Amino acid sequence: MDQKMLPIGISDYKKLIEEDYYYVDKTDFIRQIIEEGSLITLLPRPRRFGKTLNLSTLRYFFERTEGNIYRPLFNGKNIEQWKDFDRYQGKYPVILVTLKDCKGDTFEEMLLLLARELQSEFIRHDYLREHIEQKDYLDQFVRLQNRKATPDEMTGSLRLLSELLTSYWGTPPLVLLDEYDTPIHVAFDKGYYDRMIGFMRNFMSLVFKDNTDIFRGIITGILRVSKESIFSGLNNIAVFSLLDRPVCTAFGFTQEETNTLLTDYSLGDEKDSVKQWYDGYLFGGLTVYNPWSVLNYIMYDGVLAPYWVNTGSDVLLRHLLADGPSQIRMGVESLIQGEPIRSVINDKLAFPDLLSEASNIWSFMLFSGYLKATDPVKNNDDLMEYTLQVPNREVRTVFFTIIRSWINNGPVKNDRLELMLQALKEKNMPIFQRILNDFVVNTLSYYDTSGREPEKVYQAFLLGMLVSSGAYEVSSNRESGLGRYDILLRPRDLSLQGVIMELKLYDPVYDESVESVLDSALQQIEDKQYAATLQAAGVTDILKMAITFDGKRVWVKMA
């Protein structure tokens, strides 16, 4: 059987079906929207998980046309088995507007990009023009078609179009708004956030609030932007986030769908590798694969690579990790070591408040697709707390890359890091100590060392540098021998050198000398038998190191 074309970047359902692209049947999403949704339904999901394609599917299913021309698009699809198929298929006019490309450097530029999107939808409904009786409505309609509408007219554009469609068809329309929060993300980054929020609040309220000329409203995005009251007054809205069970498998590929897809493209033997790289997301408690990454993996003949993480900017994430509370950077260190963290999750986020609490940053990372959440428990404040983990190897590369950038963006560049790692390999402690001191002086400002556990801060800082070496598997705080080591570097080639590092804080008030603290750390490595893990793995060349910090000075000694 000939293999079908893969729908990479295809978000139009009609094109996908008519041109016979490979399609993972998600049409039961239509039934779920009717039976489980509300008058207005908000569906936040990470980027590249099929939001635009699903809205396009809704459009072609519901859209009323002369002769019901879209009916054949659903022949043989799952939705044909729905008992109410004929009741809803082809029965409603549809408005579909996407804001995914409204990324202006200024508010005015954003309005120009939005005007283009509105123009396209008003031209699509050009048949209405000759039936508009009120002159002011007709004038607005024409200006919107010609991209000459005022900001106020753009604000009320979807409300106007819904009224005109109801009047023409005698049936209220389905209103689909795709990626509603994209311009809000950009506005926060570019400095016109307040103006953007004010516009979006009115733009959405006019069409979705108390509008009798609407059958249903479906909104997609990444976050539920809440505190700014964008959704205020929408008492009839249902929000199905990735933590909720309704429509949970409508976005992304299930295990069964992924297995079938891999088998169809002769990659069935690679299921385990694909699972490690692209699985791990939990939507409504069910396992979901990243569809963009799986499709690209197949297109590139089975090359495992971070396809999803390269499709969008991580500027905001980098900003939050660098400028947020110090426990965020400590948490990232735990996460990349495979250790979970616990945090309250807030599904109603306001961009200006992201840095105010660590839980807001973890929440942003979860809903943006960088974490997965399990084991919900209500805490003493009646807030839901979750266990958070990195979902898969692809996302793990994001955190490695960001940690490297913290180092490389300082005055000390990556060539110095390579020299430091080479000194480690050669057991050249004076060079290792000198370069490490340079890093500490120039880069440790990213970390808060004034807390009660500065040793953990230094440990996270050092780990951030060491993970960039592909020669080692880096771990920390794991049991070995009779205790828990601070840092262990296991060589991927077991015939090479392994490294154990014990960190101690030097306090001139209480400690006799730097040398005594270093000796104490080396003795602990021996007494606690930290080398046991490396020895059990077959490593015979083991470097035992003591590292002592005092403010922004560092001393190193090897056994």
| Residue-level pLDDT at 189 | 87
Query: Residue 113: which of 56, 196, 50, 45 has the closest Cα?
Result: 196
* Continuous segment of H or E residues that includes residue 438: helix 429-443
Q: How confident is the model at residue 411 (pLDDT cuts 50, 70, 90)?
A: very low
The mean pLDDT value for 242-265 works out to 96
Query: What is the spatial distance between Cα 47 and Cα 40, in angstroms, rounded to a whole number?
Result: 21
Q: How confident is the model at residue 228 (pLDDT cuts 50, 70, 90)?
A: low
The mean pLDDT value for 362-387 works out to 94
| Residue-level pLDDT at 328 | 85
| Digit-coded pLDDT (tens) for 53-96 | 999 999 999 999 999 999 999 999 999 999 999 999 999 999 99
Work out whether the CA dihedral 125, 126, 130, 132 comes out positive or negative: positive
| Digit-coded pLDDT (tens) for 529-544 | 999 999 999 999 999 9
* Continuous segment of H or E residues that includes residue 288: strand 286-288
Q: How confident is the model at residue 438 (pLDDT cuts 50, 70, 90)?
A: confident
Please report, as a single letter, which amino acid is at residue 517. V
Transcribe 374-415 into DSSP letters: EEEEE-TTS-EEEEEE--SHHHHHHHHHHHHHHHHTSSS-HH
The torsion defined by the Cα of 384, 335, 370 and 375, in degrees rounded to 10, comes to -30
Query: What is the spatial distance between Cα 424 and Cα 499, in angstroms, rounded to a whole number?
Result: 9
| Residue-level pLDDT at 406 | 60
10 dihedral zone (left: phi>0; alpha: psi -120 to 50; beta): beta
All domains in the chain, ordered by first residue: 13-239 (3.40.50), 255-310 (no CATH), 315-395 (no CATH), 410-558 (3.40.1350)
| Digit-coded pLDDT (tens) for 314-355 | 778 877 887 777 778 778 878 887 889 999 999 888 888 888
Mean pLDDT of the chain: 89
Q: How confident is the model at residue 472 (pLDDT cuts 50, 70, 90)?
A: confident
* Residues recorded for the chain: 559
| Residue-level pLDDT at 444 | 56
The residue with tokens 């083991």 is 542
Whole-angstrom CA distances from 501 to 118, 353, 434 are 60, 38, 17
Helices 393-408/326-336 angle, 10° precision = 130
